[in-house]
Structure 1
Amino acid sequence: MSVLTEVPVIPESFDSKDAFLADAQRYRRELLAHCYRMTGSLHDAEDLVQDTYLRAWKSYDNFEGRSSVRTWLYRIATNTCLTSLDGRKRRPLPTGLGAPASDPTSDIAEHHEITWLEPLPDAPREDPSDPSVIAESRESVRLAFVAALQHLSARQRAVLVLREVLQWKAAEVGEAIGASTAAVNSLLQRARAQLDAVQPTQDDDIAAPDSPEAQDRLARYVEAFETYDMDKLVDMFTADAIFEMPPFDGWYQGPEDIVTLSKTHCPAEGPGDMRFLTTTANGQPAAALYMLNRESGRHEEFQLHVLAVRADGVSHVVAFHADGLFEKFGLPVAL
């Protein structure tokens, strides 16, 4: 996991703190991605970025220009995240709870007391030279990677992200988090070992969301649900495919069990009950599901399906409960 961080020269002096803050807004999106990797929460990340800018504004008079403004903001954001994470529980997906795959015919139960991992809307990519596009590479915000980060301590997360995603030197990381270079190297070694234990295989073969392969799979996935042809879904998934849908704590593996789950627990009754809008999330293809409300006659926000697509099919789907999520993705709440 590595991301290049080459950026244009940044002016280090401003007429006022307000001018600095206005100029620093160019880094908002990449700082959001950074805080999201650290916390696994879009809502928390937005608050932490806001707090980062507030802290930077208050302490700008003490900025000595020994690093770029961008690096300085990352240091503040990292420590803001570390403070926020102190004492907090990790944000899992159902697969991260340690339970075996569930029976698709059994009852399902919501667990809102668990602070679940959340998805991240992808940034617009009009300008590929924008450093936020580089720093927020698809690999570094994929759900599998962010979910794996949740198994690390907060300081391990910080070290791993700063070293391997942003490619900071060990001494720079140590200065940022108040640790020696030796301590940083030790934290990184333990973080890598822990990551290998919870994520033994890398998703190097995951298709980019704008690839023809991913677009074709996504279109066929949507069509199968909209036409209520659940049996067609069997051919969509890989043999080891996983389907999970927080806040329900169960997870399901294999095409047959996934289709049985859909037939058993999906509230749709037939063709036309479900409609989708396609989008992207976490550098992956995604589809926003709208379920028919028979009383209002409208299709209303229901779930956001984030897909991992490989050459042999859809290998993983996380269907997040909408719960105000669509607005964050710039999607309508009803059709």
Structure 2
Amino acid sequence: MAVYTERKAGSALADFIGEHAQVLSIAMFFLLCMTIFGLSSSTFFTTGNLLNVLRQAAPILIVAVAMTLVITTAGIDLSVGSQVALVNAVCAIAIAAGLPWPVVVVLMLALGAAVGAAQGWFISYQGIPAFIVTLAGLSILRGFALYLTEGYSIPITGVPGFFWLGRGTLAGFPVPALIALLIAALGFVVMLRTQYGRQVIAVGSNMEAARRVGMPAKRVLASVYVVAGLASAVAGMLIAARLGSGSSNAAQGFELQVIAAVVLGGTSLMGGKASMLGTVLGTMTIAVIGNGLILLHISPFFTQIVTGAIILIAIWLNTKLFDRGFRFGRART
């Protein structure tokens, strides 16, 4: 007679590490980068430099939160940098024309939402791949920004309230960083606690199955691009407020940094899996690398090489290791 015995359960620690391997790995990589740059530069851990890192990372984090939703649906938005540039330029033109800056803020949010809605309509309701639609948007929107500014930088003057959004501090903390953290916290709540967040994950896992159980799958898919447009509008205005000008050349390579932050944070390019905490850590890692390389007097162009390498490695880990049931130790029975 055969005797069956229960396999010994794995440790709780091993199961926890296996379940959160990607977030833990980016957290360790972030700490490693902090340590290396801290030891290599005496100014890295100064209060002024750390606050500067947070201020510069704010626009990337804001758009990365929205990009997390987009990539969770198995989509991508290559046009966010061009959206930021368009809003940046139009914002400066509107303020220079004499419009009150609070009105301009509302109009820019509407512009970002409209651009996102247009792209979302083509992707969701017309069935055109997101890569194609947003690649076209990358060119079209940057072209509009160039056309409106004729390639020149548009100065912004006489609006201290608007400048406060990009340069101000609150209790010693940069206002842009506070805005970014609030948006990141909202992203956490949306993904973990709301029906909409569950619908985004369901659409990314299997859009047809989500549609068949009664979810408004196409509307959800289109909505994430509206969110990306809104986030890009906020980022564009913060950059304009910080620099005191609007330019069609703003946010060059911005989409590369945003996608790198999201993928590095563990959100699956195949859809159906997201990590807002990973996105925050990924964004800060990208920002720390860029800042650290500058402090070490390394060419800023090298940052693009590092960012590209990070994307490649993150995608490799995403598809070859973590998405194939990666586990530490023995599984529980």
Q: Say which structure, 1 or 2, has more relative contact order (CA 8 Å, 6+ apart).
A: 2
Relative to its length, the structure with more helix (as a share) is 2
The structure with the largest strand share of the pair is 1
